Structure 1
Amino acid sequence: MNSNIPAFWRAGFRPFFLSGAFYALLVLCLWILSLTGYLEYETYVAPPLIHGHEMLYGFGVAAIAGFILTAMPNWTNTPPLSGLPLAGLYAFWIAGRLSLWAGTSIPFVVLATVDMLFLPTLAIMTARTLYKAGNKKNLMLPGIFLLLGTFNLLFYLSEMSVIELSSRTILEAAISVLILLITIIGGRIVPAFTRNALHQQGITIEISAPTKLSIACIIGTFVMVLGDVFISPDYPNSFAVFCLLLAMAHFIRLIFWKGWLTLNDPLLWSMHLGYLWIPIGLLLKSYGLYEYGYFWEGALHALTTGAIATMVLVVMIRAGLGHSGSPLKSSFLLTCSLIAITLAALSRVVQSALEGPLSVPVLHSSGLLWTLAFGLYIIHFLPIMFKPRLDGKPG
């Protein structure tokens, strides 16, 4: 790797993880200001939809990019994307964020076009590298990026009244796409990291779920993506039963990974806890569909603040430590960060069921805990991201 490249542009995890964490704070702060009436501006898209869209396509997608660009060199034995190519890809992500917050100052078609550039570009770049390296088992990941990009296109077409699907329904399906990614990638790394850590402690034990069960979870979660669009709106009761069965499958899969043996390692128990939010969220989703006929707010935040944000945060921490040459061990700040995101998810889900005077304080508490979680991450990693690896290796 060219030593003249600034450290910040030597690997994808540096700009995308750090920017994703900052953006997680920014989006929440702007949403709170909008809710409280302190922020008003003209926009094509309603503020609640902007909040949901940017948590997925801003924060979530940044984490996905950081992970795939960091993991792919290990999968393919190729150098990491760095320098100007990395900066160019990052510019697409930034441009999409700026376009959406520009309000009505630019034409809506331009806004949508700019925001849709990033995911197809990421998919093409990763597919090309994986294909040339003969790494066929991971070629499904660029396909999932394109699926996520397709839902982004549908979101904008809905906002332009070109299609009849509601924008919220499309975002709900996009949430399920991210859960699908966690199902696939988490299904690889959670048991593998657990097995390796226990082996280092002298504990040799089987840490893997039956292959058929894992395949059922992956296929079932993919079906849920389609069900969010085509089944849930018209047949909520039937879809509730499906979500309940899928929740049970994910929970049984998690039991096989024996998370209770990892309570001494925050970088491990948090991964198990993040995955646990999937069956919890699906159980609440089933309840909401049956009781109210729609994707209930409690379920939505169990899957987003709980499963997605927790898994994103712990993966950003693990990858950030490992690929910066730092010891793969949680610090006090990072452990507090992981505890804070767990409490943020719990309080946000509880708030969804509350009515009366307690609802607002609990909502604010969730926001403060979210801010604490990602703020502590930034405090720890900000200096690391701008320094070369401690072990002198590329990246």
Structure 2
Amino acid sequence: MLMNIQNTAPRPKSPHPILNLGFRIFFVGSAVFAILAMLLWLAILQGFAPFKGTFNPFYWHAHEMIFGYALAVIAGFLLTAVKTWTSQPMPYGWHLGAIFGAWAVSRLLWLGLHATPSVTMLSVAFLFDLLFWGMTAYSVIKAVWVARQKRQIGIVAKLTLLMLANIAFYTGVFLDSTTTQQIALYGALYLVIGVVFTIARRVLPFFIVKGISVDNNGKPNGLNIEQKNSVLLDRMNLVGFFGFIVFDLFVKSPMLASAFALVCVIANICRLKNWYHPAIWQKPLLWSLIIAFGGMTASLAFFVVLPFVDTSVNVHSLGLHGLALFGVGLMTVAMMARVSLGHTGRNIHQPPKTVSAMFILMIISALCRVVMPMFGGDYMTWVLISQVAWVLSFGLFCVSYVGILAKPRTDGLFG
């Protein structure tokens, strides 16, 4: 009787497969935007497109990398993963289109703000940013509430704080307060990294087991492995990262921020040791995630040594960009490459042949922006190479995955 009732339930419908589930439209949109925003930032730095906005151009760039690109990827992931976590329906069809549309309108306005210092444009962008993240957060919180999953409270808290950080940034722009803008941007980046730490802790052990215990055809290969998370390491990372944020961002105590960052580094080195298996190097969708997590951990080490190094090197900026390029750039493109296959019914063990090049380009982008400037050479040349590598990496993603994300699932299911 119950099976008959379930079978007669109406099948979800959307006007196009790309609107079937959040990861599809947001992964495509975020990748295209990552290319456009970085090309424009390259043109601004090279003097081809002078910045005419009324606020710091570096803050313009940071806002769009965090609240534009990173939040789109997080929205796509959560609007997909929360359905699995809670067994509750998530937005699809025109509802999903409205959420994406709000994000897209704000991004177009922000791209135009570099040349048009308009309070009206900024105000409209603010409104659509609130609509985008408000609808995203509501969809996630509603599903968590209905499922009564208290363990998701951390994700809910981070979504709320990201909304407040964006409001704070806009407020800082309207009031011409660079201090408020800086705190909002740094705080938002740390929150995004916190979300990445949380998601990585949940999915990396699962992905590793799923990836290396079978061959490329999905058949068991005899490797019997088990991945476990440690409650102690989870708490160390949480306390260490929270303390680092407080003392780096609000109290401004480099020594205490260094101590808490060290706790976080130790916790995540131990996590990597627990997760590591030599077979990951045979799977680009695995080694990319491990390198991304390792890069995030190494970037936190910049803050550990910050109080003890020559102030002529902007170690704080290098640490921030390391977190951004490994924790946002490489981690997200690697996660999107894997999720896009699994959630469209494709073989995760046979990704497009371009994925290794895609990940290597993002690693080059990170190394040229964070590591190479410490060894000399022209700083702006390293930045330019980093930008070009970023654009090429996302260009390969679009070439390889837009077709996959715009087509129905291979198994005929909706999603």
One fold, TM greater than 0.5? yes
Partner SS for 1:332: coil
Give the equivalent residue in structure 2 for 1:192. 206
CA offsets, 1:60-113, max 9 Å, x none?
001001101111221222344211110111112112213323422342444433
- How far did 1:385 drift? 2.1
- The one-letter code matched in structure 2 to 1:146 is T
- How far did 1:162 drift? 7.3
Tell me, yes or no, if structure 1 residue 304 matches structure 2 residue 324.
yes
Flag structure 1 segments of 5+ consecutive residues without an equivalent. Answer: none
Equivalent positions of 1:250-329 (< 5 A) are: 250-291=268-309, 292=311, 296-328=316-348, 329=350
Higher mean C-alpha displacement, 339-348 vs 135-144: 135-144
- The one-letter code matched in structure 1 to 2:354 is L
How many residues matched? 392
CA–CA distance in structure 1, aligned partners of residues 118 and 172 of structure 2: 20
Equivalent positions of 1:18-29 (< 5 A) are: 18-29=28-39
* RMSD, aligned α-carbons: 2.1
CA–CA distance in structure 2, aligned partners of residues 359 and 58 of structure 1: 26
CA–CA distance in structure 2, aligned partners of residues 387 and 175 of structure 1: 33
Give the equivalent residue in structure 2 for 1:237. 255
CA offsets, 1:14-48, max 9 Å, x none?
11001101111111111110011110253233221
Equivalent positions of 1:109-188 (< 5 A) are: 109-161=123-175, 165-188=179-202
Give the equivalent residue in structure 2 for 1:45. 55
The verdict on how the C-alpha distance between 1:214 and 1:89 changes in structure 2, with shifts beyond 3 A counting, is same
- Give the alignment's TM-score, normalised by structure 2: 0.88
Contact 2:13/2:20 (CA < 8 Å) preserved in 1? no
Contact 1:298/1:353 (CA < 8 Å) preserved in 2? no
CA–CA distance in structure 2, aligned partners of residues 62 and 191 of structure 1: 24
Give the equivalent residue in structure 2 for 1:345. 366
Give the equivalent residue in structure 2 for 1:8. 18
Equivalent residue for 1:74, pick from 65, 80, 84: 84
- Give the alignment's TM-score, normalised by structure 1: 0.92
Give the equivalent residue in structure 1 for 2:353. 332
Contact 1:175/1:304 (CA < 8 Å) preserved in 2? yes
The verdict on how the C-alpha distance between 1:54 and 1:4 changes in structure 2, with shifts beyond 3 A counting, is closer
Flag structure 2 segments of 5+ consecutive residues without an equivalent. Answer: 1-10, 215-220
CA offsets, 1:257-282, max 9 Å, x none?
11433111111111111110121000
Tell me, yes or no, if structure 1 residue 391 matches structure 2 residue 401.
no
Equivalent residue for 1:364, pick from 376, 380, 384: 384
CA–CA distance in structure 1, aligned partners of residues 178 and 400 of structure 2: 45
Give the equivalent residue in structure 2 for 1:381. 401
Partner SS for 2:91: coil
CA–CA distance in structure 2, aligned partners of residues 79 and 314 of structure 1: 26
The verdict on how the C-alpha distance between 1:377 and 1:252 changes in structure 2, with shifts beyond 3 A counting, is same
Contact 1:131/1:139 (CA < 8 Å) preserved in 2? no
Contact 1:236/1:290 (CA < 8 Å) preserved in 2? no
CA offsets, 1:287-341, max 9 Å, x none?
3354339762221121111122111011111111111122113222112101111
CA–CA distance in structure 2, aligned partners of residues 3 and 121 of structure 1: 20
